[in-house]
Structure 1
Amino acid sequence: MAEIEKRKSFKHVSYLWDDQEAAKLAGDEVGLLIYRSNLLGADLRLTNYGGGNTSCKAMANDPLTGEEVEVMWVKGSGGDLGTLKRSGLAALYVERLRNLKKVYRGIDHEDEMVELFNHSIYDLASKAPSIDTPLHGFLPFKHIDHLHPDAAIAIAAAKDGKRITQELFKGTIGWVEWQRPGFDLGLKLKQCLDENPGIRGIMLGSHGLFTWGDTAYESYINTLEVIESCAEYLEQHYGKKGPIFGGQKISSLPAELRKKQAAAIAPILRGFCSSERPMVGHFTDDDRVLEFINSNDLDRLAPLGTSCPDHFLRTKISPLVLELPADADLTDVEQLKVKLKPAFEAYRAMYADYYETCKHPNSPAIRDKNPVIILFPGVGLFSFSKDKQTARVAAEFYINAINVMKGAEAISEYTSLPRQEAFNIEYWLLEEAKLQRMPKPKALSGKIALITGSAGGIGKAIAVKFVEEGAVVVINDNDGERLKKADDDFKGRYGKDAYITAKLDVTNDADIAAAYDAANLAFGGVDIVVNCAGLSISKPLQDHTDKDWDLLYDVLVKGQFKVTQQGVAILRKQEIGGDVINIVSKNALVSGPNNAGYGSAKAAQLHLSRLNAAELGGDKIRVNVVNPDAVISDSKIWEGAWAEGRAKAYGIKVEELPAYYAKRTLLNEIILPEDIANACFVFVGGLLNKSTGNVLNVDGGVAMAFVR
């Protein structure tokens, strides 16, 4: 009952603590730290993905002396509170960490302290300590939370945030002016505490919030109460100074029209943003975004950029705002590109000037000059980054920044980080070192693939291979039940950012258009089109019907044509090249009995591929063919009548087909869906970027199917 009442007492944050769950961890301070961290990370109003850090201090046995020593467990570098596990913690001797003050040479030598943290490591298997480690280490409290709640940062980023903090919390929350995280900031926090004994937390100017407690629960409840107070204060002030963001300047398009406009323009934006490397996109028309981008204050606030370093590192110095009417005609692609090109050139020039103006002699080389966040008033927000998750999280961070601007403007005036300070964070040598430690991009990182018929069989194997090589994929099928199973499988194996699903019948123009629109909205466009959807009908010539013939040609030939046609329109919008792979068959080259419809349709697919390759080379679009044979595993083609027809044609039983097909090959091998997937990867993996119009046989070696 007490827990229910506690939940009701919070309006702006979620009280998630469960006494029964916490009781299971009694006496395990590190376990309670993980529990508390996961609860805090589950509420995006409290902190962003990957942002903030938490800690606890407890006694432990020194493995060298056997004596009890105080150890601090703190979230390590690069972790996320919501998914934090013990393996994501750094564990350090508290006394050794604090003794580093004796060798600290001052703020000009901040970075050298990070290496010295390693001399304080208690658990040699722990995560690398983050730059925020001393911020926790110099404070005496057993449990500490450092978060980036929108409501608190709104006050921290306000022009007179220090005064507001003092008035709101009556001196119970300290204030430390903006300073880059590091050893010196840890000393400043301790100084603030020493000068203000008895405070329950510290606000960091433009940055975030520190709160604490003697137990995990005390720290958790203290954190919630402070953030609740900040949020309540903001809510009381919304509208008092005037309309939010200066009031509405334009109206949003209706939801369906917003999606239509976003899908139409996304590939063009992606093409511009991919001028240096392939980028994956994300789109949102969240109400908070629309309120901001449709406002009178957009032109004043957007160029200021963000305040919190976590926001800034994800979203770049400032967004690009499109100067287009929400209902602009986007059908004239070339004219639209002409209109948008100067805006991207101006943004790149601005970013280059920012780099040149702010750089230091030892600064890392300039990074990608394209925008991460693009705002389309009346429509929504686009974000582009190296992969879907990073693009989605960048959008989430910019929404956090919008919340901060909204709150700061309601109570005072929003202030962002000075450009030099922002640069010092973005091009910090320690941040660069973190980037350099990240794994190298996979071969298909930044690539988007639509594979028809990918809920099972060959198509699914191709989708799996592409995802595992770094691509994002559009899983689709005309069989809803099969598609649902594939959805569950991919979600469990790869998570929500690796794929989307779409119901797609390749004989239906509207289905094709909808699938590509879904790809545009989810990822920003498409790079790889794989025509894999198929069916087979095996009958003697006299038994073939018009219905059989039309179905084979509609799915195999016309379907390939239609899917390629609409896919090429998107590839041309992007102007960054691409790939079309057509899964054909050895039957396109080999004559066999009872196969007039299927075999001739496959031959048409093969020649259509050659024709497309000849036409699309000027657009840097490669068109290649993979010819499988007898891929029986997980294939709908081999269910029922087709298998029976082939078995009858060869005078054998259905269950004898796999062995029969293997024995007739030069390699005596059974062909699996994964073999076809590997062949597709060969074409798109980067080593054959100058090859088009090719046919790759994956049939175990059928001499009659040799192309030459």
Structure 2
Amino acid sequence: MTVVDDLLKRCHELGADPRNTNYAGGNASAKGSQTDPVTGEPVDLMWVKGSGGDLGTLTASGLAVLRLDRLRALINVYPGVEREDEMVAAFDFCAHGKGGAAPSIDTAMHGLVEAAHVDHLHPDSGIAIATAADGAELTRAIFGDRVAWVPWRRPGFQLGLDIAAIKTENPQAIGVILGGHGITAWGETSAECQANSLEIIRLAESYLAAHGKTEPFGPVLPGYEALPASGRQARAAALFPLIRGLASTDRPQVGHYTGTDVVLDFLSRAEHPRLAALGTSCPDHFLRTKISPLVLDLPADAPLDQVKDRLRDLHAAYRADYAAYYERNAVEGSPAMRGADPAIVLVPGVGMFSFGADKQTARVAGEFYVNAINVMRGAESVSAYAPIPEAEKFRIEYWSLEEAKLQRMPKPKPLAARVAFVTGGGSGIGAATARRLAAEGACVVIADRDLGAAQKIAGELGANALRASDVAIAVAADVTSEDDIRAGLAAAVLAFGGVDLVVNNAGLSLSKPLLETTAADWDLQHDVMARGSFLVSRETARIMIEQNMGGDIVYISSKNSLFAGPDNIAYSAAKADQAHQVRLLAAELGGHGIRVNGINPDGVVRGSGIFASGWGANRAAVYGVQEDKLGEFYAQRTLLKREVLPEHVANAVYALTGGDLTHTTGLHIPVDAGVAAAFLR
């Protein structure tokens, strides 16, 4: 195996176990020689995980490759700790070859330490020792002289120099505990380095287990115990839209709900308010969770209205406190305040609500706060939890290097942070719409009577994501059932925090002349489309109003809502009902910032579940054409002579919701390739 192969193998094995490090946290490196293509001579290089990568999924393209001689020569031009940030730009002049990842702030630590292999990790057990009030003493008690203590210092060139000096002065040491931060270990082979990292992590775990007190968070607070599972889920779904709306005051956010035992136990204990107020410590933690969460101070069974009112008050106080934190610590040249809303909201008895610009970011923020709870438990069990000072947290959060990293991030897609609920999403127009909305950045809930079809589309949309459920989920929903609709929307809320964009697409069609249309036919047609879209709109409007973030409701109506064709009285009348719902709801919901618009397709044959279920055969018989030529027939009767596909309808949904038509509501857009008889008048 090559040096890079060994490094990636080590990264994957360490990153696969959450006890070793958190997602995208920590880094690892390896040093070795390679032939310089310019001189033909051997050159000493270092391969190190680049900025923003994840150890568990790292590939060779995620490594930064630097010349070791040039990296170490930076010591000669180092201007001192007050200007150490300048050294990050200097790493670019140490790069070997082209391509490769951007070097992270920890590059100096890896390059300056005299060891062939170095790991820097954020294990909960190691950070528990690092954030304990007497961390230095605990380090000596646990590890003897095999692991040294490094007082807190912000990551950078000076920290790399400090660790390099400690290794030189302590040749017996296998690594260090970084105060307030994590661990670093080294070895002359990749296997030795990995073994040393695991030795530090496992010894810390064993010590905490053997010496830690059993209730580090204090006794249970009466009334703050976890609600029963069913009641907990219902309360979370009832609160999430409001909480998401509050957390989106500065910018829209996607939410993630966590109701694990770790979170619920923490919130049930007497010390949780004190510890939560202290905030997180490891830079990787509070960059994602903010320095502290918003914590509801009411018991689990408090009346829902009281809880909502209290959350509004606490949110206002949180924003004021965060602004004061910024003002206390900002200096000339500090980046502007990025937003004062919480990233983590804790509700006793219910769980944790975490937020981010997309679902993965929201989920990872919650995972990091679980790490923080584990850290607090460990530190409190053997000492007292003592995170780094507020001023140091601010220096990390509003670090110019962090700001530059944020500015390098790709521009969000047009529908980023929006949650879409698509009925009839398992096939045809619904599936095409789900694909388009997901491609534009939305989280998508695919609702369909056929759960298997919905799951297939959801899996397709999430195939390239870290977790498929970060992009799309499937729910079984018959839109004629109020219970199904409420359950499907509750699943959407629990998955993503709420709903912003609804597509009323579910439908069927019975093609019969008037005299052959039964009352049952009429009722079924209207139950699915007229009643079903009304029910979906009503229940999603409740969520949108609670969120106070505006929203979009789009009806997939039909050319037949305007055009009087033969032999489809039930279908066309139901579509006309939907078309007028658009106008009525646009007038009623506009005051809440909710826009309601419709799309009138015609002749969407290819991929259509309706046409495949018998409607196509009936319409072909009515028009006297072969069923497989029906799409061509519809195209030839249009002004543009073009066949309408599901993707064309999906494009219209995006046009209405993607940001360019922000002042449009109550509109019907024809997607019929031009049917003069269906022109809007």
Asked if TM exceeds 0.5, the reply is yes
Q: Residue in 2 aligned with 1:664?
A: 637
Q: Residue in 1 aligned with 2:456?
A: 485
1:199 matched to 2:137? The reply is: no
Q: Residue in 1 aligned with 2:496?
A: 523
Q: How far is 1:543 from its partner?
A: 1.3
Alpha-carbon separation, structure 1, partners of 2:289 and 2:459 = 32
Alpha-carbon separation, structure 2, partners of 1:586 and 1:264 = 38
1:460 matched to 2:435? The reply is: no
Kindly indicate whether the alpha-carbon contact (under 8 Å) linking 2:109 and 2:157 is maintained by their aligned counterparts in 1: yes
Q: Residue in 1 aligned with 2:570?
A: 597
The letter for the 1-side match of 2:341 is: N
Q: How many residues align?
A: 677
1:364 matched to 2:335? The reply is: yes
Q: Indicate the SS of the match to 1:367.
A: coil
Q: What are the equivalent positions in structure 2 for 1:669-688 lying under 5 Å apart? A: 669-688=642-661
1:621 matched to 2:622? The reply is: no
Alpha-carbon separation, structure 2, partners of 1:155 and 1:233 = 10
* Partner of residue 282 from structure 1, selected from 256, 262, 275: 256
Kindly indicate whether the alpha-carbon contact (under 8 Å) linking 1:90 and 1:123 is maintained by their aligned counterparts in 2: no
Q: What are the equivalent positions in structure 2 for 1:35-184 lying under 5 Å apart? A: 35-184=9-158
The letter for the 1-side match of 2:100 is: S
Q: Residue in 2 aligned with 1:22?
A: none
After superposition, the Cα gap between the structure-2 partners of 1:265 and 1:384, relative to the gap in structure 1 and judged at 3 Å, is same
Q: How far is 1:580 from its partner?
A: 0.4
Q: How far is 1:336 from its partner?
A: 5.3
Q: How far is 1:238 from its partner?
A: 2.9
Q: Residue in 2 aligned with 1:398?
A: 369
Q: Residue in 2 aligned with 1:507?
A: 480
The letter for the 1-side match of 2:311 is: L
Structure 1 stretches of 4+ moved >4 Å? none
Kindly indicate whether the alpha-carbon contact (under 8 Å) linking 1:175 and 1:192 is maintained by their aligned counterparts in 2: no
Alpha-carbon separation, structure 1, partners of 2:168 and 2:563 = 86
After superposition, the Cα gap between the structure-2 partners of 1:467 and 1:403, relative to the gap in structure 1 and judged at 3 Å, is same
Alpha-carbon separation, structure 2, partners of 1:84 and 1:493 = 15
Q: How far is 1:491 from its partner?
A: 3.0
Q: How far is 1:533 from its partner?
A: 0.5
Q: Residue in 1 aligned with 2:313?
A: 342
Alpha-carbon separation, structure 2, partners of 1:482 and 1:318 = 42
Alpha-carbon separation, structure 2, partners of 1:561 and 1:325 = 37
What RMSD, in angstroms, separates the aligned Cα atoms of the two structures?
1.1
Alpha-carbon separation, structure 2, partners of 1:339 and 1:701 = 54
| CA offset digits 1:100-125 (Å, max 9, x no partner) | 00000100111111111111111221
Kindly indicate whether the alpha-carbon contact (under 8 Å) linking 1:261 and 1:327 is maintained by their aligned counterparts in 2: no
Alpha-carbon separation, structure 1, partners of 2:4 and 2:211 = 40
The letter for the 2-side match of 1:266 is: F
The letter for the 1-side match of 2:444 is: V
Q: Residue in 2 aligned with 1:699?
A: 672
Kindly indicate whether the alpha-carbon contact (under 8 Å) linking 2:255 and 2:359 is maintained by their aligned counterparts in 1: yes
Q: What are the equivalent positions in structure 2 for 1:323-334 lying under 5 Å apart? A: 323-330=297-304, 332=305
Alpha-carbon separation, structure 2, partners of 1:367 and 1:482 = 41
Alpha-carbon separation, structure 1, partners of 2:323 and 2:517 = 66
Q: How far is 1:302 from its partner?
A: 0.5
Kindly indicate whether the alpha-carbon contact (under 8 Å) linking 2:477 and 2:484 is maintained by their aligned counterparts in 1: yes
1:690 matched to 2:663? The reply is: yes
Alpha-carbon separation, structure 2, partners of 1:340 and 1:33 = 47
Q: Indicate the SS of the match to 1:57.
A: strand
Kindly indicate whether the alpha-carbon contact (under 8 Å) linking 1:60 and 1:69 is maintained by their aligned counterparts in 2: yes
Q: TM-score, normalised by structure 1?
A: 0.94
Q: How far is 1:487 from its partner?
A: 3.3
Q: Indicate the SS of the match to 1:492.
A: coil
1:631 matched to 2:626? The reply is: no
1:411 matched to 2:353? The reply is: no
Alpha-carbon separation, structure 1, partners of 2:209 and 2:178 = 21
* Range with greater deviation from structure 2 (487-496 or 451-460): 487-496
* Range with greater deviation from structure 2 (213-222 or 287-296): 213-222
Q: How far is 1:698 from its partner?
A: 0.5
Q: Residue in 1 aligned with 2:217?
A: 245
Q: Residue in 2 aligned with 1:541?
A: 514
Q: How far is 1:642 from its partner?
A: 0.8
1:652 matched to 2:625? The reply is: yes
Alpha-carbon separation, structure 2, partners of 1:412 and 1:354 = 27
Alpha-carbon separation, structure 1, partners of 2:606 and 2:310 = 51
Kindly indicate whether the alpha-carbon contact (under 8 Å) linking 2:225 and 2:265 is maintained by their aligned counterparts in 1: no
The letter for the 2-side match of 1:265 is: L
Q: How far is 1:67 from its partner?
A: 0.8
The letter for the 2-side match of 1:118 is: D
| CA offset digits 1:623-648 (Å, max 9, x no partner) | 00011111112211011421111011
Q: How far is 1:71 from its partner?
A: 0.3
The letter for the 1-side match of 2:327 is: E
Q: How far is 1:126 from its partner?
A: 1.3
Kindly indicate whether the alpha-carbon contact (under 8 Å) linking 2:459 and 2:472 is maintained by their aligned counterparts in 1: no
* Range with greater deviation from structure 2 (257-266 or 634-643): 634-643
1:261 matched to 2:235? The reply is: yes
The letter for the 1-side match of 2:631 is: P
Q: Residue in 1 aligned with 2:3?
A: 29
Q: Which runs of 5+ in 1 are unaligned?
A: 1-25
Q: What are the equivalent positions in structure 2 for 1:203-222 lying under 5 Å apart? A: 203-222=177-196
Q: Residue in 2 aligned with 1:6?
A: none
Alpha-carbon separation, structure 2, partners of 1:42 and 1:696 = 50
Q: TM-score, normalised by structure 2?
A: 0.98
Alpha-carbon separation, structure 1, partners of 2:464 and 2:575 = 34
Kindly indicate whether the alpha-carbon contact (under 8 Å) linking 2:477 and 2:485 is maintained by their aligned counterparts in 1: yes
Alpha-carbon separation, structure 1, partners of 2:626 and 2:298 = 65
Alpha-carbon separation, structure 1, partners of 2:571 and 2:383 = 72
Kindly indicate whether the alpha-carbon contact (under 8 Å) linking 1:178 and 1:206 is maintained by their aligned counterparts in 2: yes
The letter for the 1-side match of 2:10 is: R
| CA offset digits 1:340-381 (Å, max 9, x no partner) | 222111100100000000011000001110000000011100
The letter for the 2-side match of 1:253 is: L
Kindly indicate whether the alpha-carbon contact (under 8 Å) linking 2:296 and 2:310 is maintained by their aligned counterparts in 1: no
Alpha-carbon separation, structure 1, partners of 2:559 and 2:583 = 16
Alpha-carbon separation, structure 2, partners of 1:491 and 1:102 = 49
Alpha-carbon separation, structure 1, partners of 2:614 and 2:405 = 57
Q: Indicate the SS of the match to 1:554.
A: helix
Q: Indicate the SS of the match to 1:639.
A: helix
Q: Residue in 1 aligned with 2:543?
A: 570
Alpha-carbon separation, structure 2, partners of 1:351 and 1:488 = 39
Alpha-carbon separation, structure 2, partners of 1:361 and 1:636 = 62
Q: How far is 1:63 from its partner?
A: 2.1
The letter for the 2-side match of 1:340 is: L
Q: How far is 1:565 from its partner?
A: 0.4
Q: Indicate the SS of the match to 2:319.
A: helix
* Partner of residue 554 from structure 1, selected from 513, 521, 527: 527
The letter for the 2-side match of 1:226 is: I
Alpha-carbon separation, structure 2, partners of 1:630 and 1:325 = 56
Kindly indicate whether the alpha-carbon contact (under 8 Å) linking 2:606 and 2:631 is maintained by their aligned counterparts in 1: no
How many percent of aligned residue pairs carry the same amino acid?
Answer: 52
The letter for the 2-side match of 1:308 is: C
The letter for the 1-side match of 2:482 is: D
Q: How far is 1:493 from its partner?
A: 4.2
Q: How far is 1:129 from its partner?
A: 0.7
Q: Residue in 1 aligned with 2:442?
A: 471
| CA offset digits 1:473-523 (Å, max 9, x no partner) | 111210133123223322324433011111111011111001111111111
| CA offset digits 1:36-92 (Å, max 9, x no partner) | 101111111111111100000011111221110110000011111111000000000
The letter for the 1-side match of 2:205 is: A
| CA offset digits 1:508-563 (Å, max 9, x no partner) | 11110011111111111111111000111101111111221111000000000000
